[in-house]
Amino acid sequence: MTFKPADIAAALAELKRDGTTVELAAGETYKLPSGLQQVGEGSTLDGHGAHLIAPSPMRIVSRAPGVTLRNFSANGYITLYNYASRYTVEDVDIDHSLDGVSHLNHGAKAAATGMFMTWLPLSRTKMLEKITYRRCTGRRSYHHTFNLNLEGAQEGGEFRDVLFDGCKALSPGSGFEPQDRSKGPAGSRDWSCGFDIPDAGDITRLTVRDCLVDDAWQDGFHLDGSWTGHRQNQKDVLFERCIATRCGRRTSPASVEKFRSGFYVQTGRLVDCHTRDCANAGFGIINEKANTLEVVNCSDEGSAYGMILNYAAPGAKIQFTSTGAKVRAFVGQAGSGGGSLDLTLVAPPSPAVTFGRALRIDYLGCDNHAAQQRDKYDRIGYSMSGRAIIIRGSQKPTVEVWKTSTLNGAIVYDIGPDMTIPDEKPPAVDTPEVPPIVLPPEPEAYILSEDGALKNVLPDGTTYMQVAGFMDPAVAAYFPHGTIWRRVVE
């Protein structure tokens, strides 16, 4: 049955019923009440382009299967929470801001901190399936924009048949989140990502297609993976035509985690995906399971590292282009266990490539897991087949090999129009000198002013405050997507 209620209170009351369709008036603006607003089984909210404002914390919660939310925009303290299968969200645009400029401090309000969230309730089920987000946009999410997670556990549940199609995460992560809500400086535990899918739980048949992340606090696209005492299984994962730009550039120096990469994944196929200007890696890939990783026609431009590929990468097939990397174009293992690397270098640094163990544990940015990850690095022996590695460029780059690794045969170089196979092998390195990451200066801290706006203190001591007005073009690169700043004269 279809309802067209006269006001938002009546609309939300009808939406609680099972099997109903609630239609809002096209072009109308509705002020939402606070609290939890439930959606009935098999029910649909169709906004017809209406806009919702949440000046106080408000969650639209789906605990029964078959819910559809579509065709509306919203801003303020609002989160879409889902705990059930067959959940679809289409053409929804949410902004965690009231002024269209600055992030809101949801944590201080004890509000839900994510934006588009699906929780798997292990007390009721071990699996959720058919979760779909199409053409959804999140702006200035306090925490993750899109998130799959387990309720109250690190493993033991599974997500199946999940689709993100044509979705965007713009400036995800506020920098307000401390190590915990009672202590710690702002940003010390904020590891917000555009797509955290999943954080905890196994994933089977995940497709992320034509999605974009810009200016994420940490990673653009993040699959959490496994570490000592925790296992995340991933099967049939596909990223296709996805883009991540400027990830990790706002991460606080106080943060205990510094992933800061465009993609942080373990397995699957990445096809026609591209990154640019990320503070750590364009692609940070933690490949632990043989013959499960394929990277096809992907590229990075201007990140500190074009790609980091770890854990011996058995059977991994990589086709990748790095342009203007700041520190290394490629670091890690490739060409083992039947795998291959076809690497194109444009304006590479020197050295351009290090084969073997990654240079330092913190390059993949998880200080909390450092001890467990270090054990994995130290125990892995790596032997690569040089004939399975092709490096292309306008001139021969400087390539290193980690001293505990073995290069069998010569790397094939395709330099300009003629292919040559140099007689000499790359030098072995132990702890190579790594030049510092050169990025635009970042603010030293985020703090709240008396009126609730953010202030940034730059390294030279000048202070800028978010405003809804003029932006000095000389400092635009310092600040997140969609925000406007002015200089504060003390």
Residue with more model confidence, 165 or 434? 165
Same domain, 169 and 143: yes
Name the E strands within 105-201: 116-120, 127-134, 137-139, 146-150, 158-165, 168-170, 195-196
Average pLDDT score over residue span 246-264 = 87
Quick check: bond before 57 cis, omega within 30? no
Same domain, 174 and 122: yes
436 within some domain = no
Task: Of 203, 217, 132, give the one whose Cα is nearest residue 169.
Answer: 217
Average pLDDT score over residue span 399-409 = 85
In this structure, are residues 276 and 246 in contact, taking their beta carbons and an 8 Å threshold?
Answer: yes
Residue type at position 146:
F
Same domain, 408 and 456: no
Q: Which two tokens stand for residue 141?
A: 């999410």
In this structure, are residues 79 and 52 in contact, taking their beta carbons and an 8 Å threshold?
Answer: no
Same domain, 21 and 46: yes
Domain CATH code at residue 10: 2.160.20
Task: Of 410, 413, 420, 411, give the one whose Cα is nearest residue 392.
Answer: 413
440 within some domain = no
Q: In whole angstroms, what is the distance from residue 181 CA to residue 168 CA? A: 28
Same domain, 313 and 181: yes
Task: Of 424, 282, 458, give the one whose Cα is nearest residue 363.
Answer: 282
437 within some domain = no
Confidence class of residue 376 from pLDDT cuts 50, 70 and 90? low
Quick check: bond before 351 cis, omega within 30? yes
138 within some domain = yes
Which residue range is the domain that position 463 belongs to?
446-488
- Residues forming a β-bridge with 213: 169, 244
Same domain, 367 and 473: no
Q: In whole angstroms, what is the distance from residue 327 CA to residue 363 CA? A: 11
Residue with more model confidence, 73 or 467? 73
Least-confidence region, from 148-162, 183-197, 361-375: 361-375
Per-residue pLDDT tens for 295-311? Answer: 999 999 999 999 999 87
439 within some domain = no
- Residues forming a β-bridge with 390: 342, 412
Distances 240 to 10, 210, 229, 234, 472 between C-alpha atoms, Å: 41, 6, 31, 17, 36
Distances 376 to 6, 30, 261 between C-alpha atoms, Å: 61, 53, 21
Quick check: bond before 417 cis, omega within 30? no
Same domain, 219 and 172: yes
Least-confidence region, from 267-276, 277-286, 398-407: 398-407
pLDDT of residue 418: 65
19 within some domain = yes
In this structure, are residues 234 and 208 in contact, taking their beta carbons and an 8 Å threshold?
Answer: no
Same domain, 214 and 87: yes
Confidence class of residue 180 from pLDDT cuts 50, 70 and 90? low
Number of domains in the chain: 2
In this structure, are residues 189 and 180 in contact, taking their beta carbons and an 8 Å threshold?
Answer: yes
Same domain, 298 and 154: yes
Q: What is the mean pLDDT of the chain?
A: 84
85 within some domain = yes
Average pLDDT score over residue span 269-279 = 97
Same domain, 204 and 282: yes
pLDDT at 443 over 80: no
pLDDT at 395 over 50: yes
Same domain, 88 and 167: yes
Same domain, 419 and 453: no
410 within some domain = yes
Prediction pTM value: 0.87
In this structure, are residues 248 and 280 in contact, taking their beta carbons and an 8 Å threshold?
Answer: yes
